[in-house]
A and B are shown apart, each in its own frame.
Chain A
Amino acid sequence: MSRIRVLNTSLFLLAVFVIQETIISRINFPINGFSLYLAALIVILSLEERSGALVFGFIGGLIMDISATAENPLGQWALALTIVGYLFSVNKESIGDFTDTPLMFLIFISVASALSLFIFVVLGAMLGQDNGSFSHIFSIIFANSLWTFLIMPLFLPLVIKVRRALMSNRERA
C-alpha cells in the first residue's frame, strides 16, 4: 500500500466526513441518525487488505475523533476502529463471502457499523463515560444499522468506485 494511496484515501474519508458533519448530520432521521462516514469507512475496511484495514481504521477513527461535536477522548474512535480493522483483517476470507453479493454486503455493513458503535460504547464504559441507558444506546445502534441498510444502496456503488479510482494500476490488477 503506497503512501500516496493512504493520503488519497484519507482525503476521501475527510471529504465524506465533511459531508457527514455538514449535511447528513442536519437531517432529522426518525429514531436516530445515520452515519454515512462510518458506513463508507466500513466499506473501505472490508475491501482493504490486512494492513490497509488497520491503517484506515486508525486514520478513519482519528478523523471521527476530531469531530467538533465529539466529547470522547481523542483516540477513542481511533482505538475502536483499529480494533474493527483488526477484526476485518483477521477474518478477511470470511468477509470476502459477504462482499460478493450486494444484499449480503449491505447486511454486513449494517452489522459492522453496529459492531463499531458497540465497541466504541464498551471502550467508553471502560473509560468511565456515561453514554446513557442501555435502551438509549440500543436505539442509537439499531437506528444507525437500519438507516445504513436502507440508505447505503444509494452510496455503496459510489464509494466502491471512488476507492477503485484511488488505487494504483498495480493494486487494481
Chain B
Amino acid sequence: MARGGGNRSRLLLILLLVSSLFLITLDLRGVNLAGSIRSGVTTVFSPIEGFFSKIFSPIGNFTSDVRNFGRSKSRITELEKEVDLLKSEKVLDEDVVGQLNQLKQVLDLAGRGEYKVVAARVINRGSTATFKQTITIDAGSSDGISKNMTVISEAGLVGVVKSVTSNSSIVLLMSDPTFKIGVRIAGTQSIGVVSGQGGNKYLLQLLDATGEIKVGDNLVARGSQNGSPFVPGVPVGTVSSVQSNASSITQNADVEGASNLERIGVVAVVVSNPKQDPRDALVPKPSPTVTVYVTPSPSPSASK
C-alpha cells in the first residue's frame, strides 16, 4: 500500500510539475493564456476591490500614517509655511497693485502739471539720527535727483528732498515742524505760508490781511524761484477751519494736507520745472452731485 501510495504521489508530482512547466512554456511562447485569465480576474475583482477599498482605505493608510507620523508632521509644518508665504505674497501683490495705482495717479498729477518727474518708492520712514519727519526713497543722484527738489504724491505735496546719495534720497515731509511753504488760495491771489505742525494738521498764515479764507479753500504751492525747492501749482491742502482773531495782523487757518503722508508708498520727484505755471489746474475738482427732485403725487382721499 505504502509503495503504491508512493508511486501515486510520484506520478502526481510528475504530472503537476509537467503541468506547471507546460503552462510556463505556453506563456513564454506567447500564448496569451495568463493575460486573458488575469484580465478576467481583474474584471471580477474590480467591483469587490472597489467596495473594500472604500471600507478599508483608512486601515490601509493606518500603518503608513503611523510610520510617517513625523514626516507628516513636518509636511504639515512645511505646508503651513507655504500657506504663510502665499498669504504674504498675496499681501505683497495687493501692496504692489496699490503702489501701481499710486504711481499711475502720481504720474497723472505730474502730467497735468507738465512736471518732469522721477518716480520712486518709499523704502524707509523716519530717521534714527534726528527727530525730523522724513522718508527715504529709492532714487538718488544717479536718477537725476538733487537736493531741494519738490516731492509729490498722487494727491499733492509730500515734501522736499533734503539730502541725496547715488541710490537714495531723504525727503523732509511737509508735516515736519520746520517745514514751511508759500501757498496761494486757489482761485484767488491771496497768499500765505503753510507750516508743518508735526501731525496731519498744518497751519496757514495768510499774509494778505484783507484776504478772505473759507473752509474748503484749496491751497496750491506758489513756487520758488527757478522751481527750487518748490514748483508752482502743486496742491498743498484744504482749509479745514478758520481761526478768527481780531487782534491778529494775519489770518490763520487750520489746513488738512492734500497727501496722506502716513500711507504713501510711491512718490515722484519733480526734476524740472514746468514751462508755465499750471495755476489751479491741479486742484482737485469737486465731484458733481446729483440732485433728484421728487414731486409727491396727491394722496388719494377717502370717498364716502
Contacts and interface: CB of A to CB of B under 8 A. Distances in A.
Interface of A: 18, 21-23, 26-30, 50-51, 54-55, 57-58, 61, 65-68, 70, 73-76, 78-79, 82-83, 86, 89, 127
Given A21-B45, A50-B9, A127-B28, A26 B53 contact: yes
B236 to A, nearest CB: 72
Contacts of B33: 74
Chain B contact residues: over half helix, strand or loop, or mixed? Answer: helix
B52 interface: yes
Interface in B17-59: 17, 19-24, 26-28, 33-34, 37-39, 41-42, 45, 48-49, 51-53, 56-57, 59
B9 A51 contact: yes
B12 interface: yes
B61 interface: yes
B60 to A, nearest CB: 4
B13 interface: yes
B12 A21 contact: no
B243 to A, nearest CB: 81
B20 A54 contact: no
Contact of A76 (B9, B24, B61): B24
A67 B42 CA distance: 8
A82 B9 CA distance: 12
Contact of B16 (A21, A65, A67, A82): A82
Contacts of B21: 75, 79
A89 B34 CA distance: 28
Interface of B: 5, 8-9, 12-13, 16-17, 19-24, 26-28, 33-34, 37-39, 41-42, 45, 48-49, 51-53, 56-57, 59-64, 67
Given A21-B49, A28-B64, A79 B59 contact: no
Contacts of A29: 63
B45 A68 contact: yes
Contact of A27 (B20, B23, B48, B60): B60
A79 B49 contact: no
11 contacts: A22-B48, A26-B52, A30-B67, A51-B12, A54-B16, A68-B39, A70-B34, A73-B34, A74-B23, A74-B33, A83-B17
A65 B23 CA distance: 10
Contacts of A79: 17, 20-21, 24
Contacts of B23: 65, 73-75, 78
A55 B12 contact: yes
A75 B52 contact: no
Contact of A82 (B13, B38, B39): B13
A54 B64 CA distance: 38
B60 A74 contact: no
A102 B6 CA distance: 30
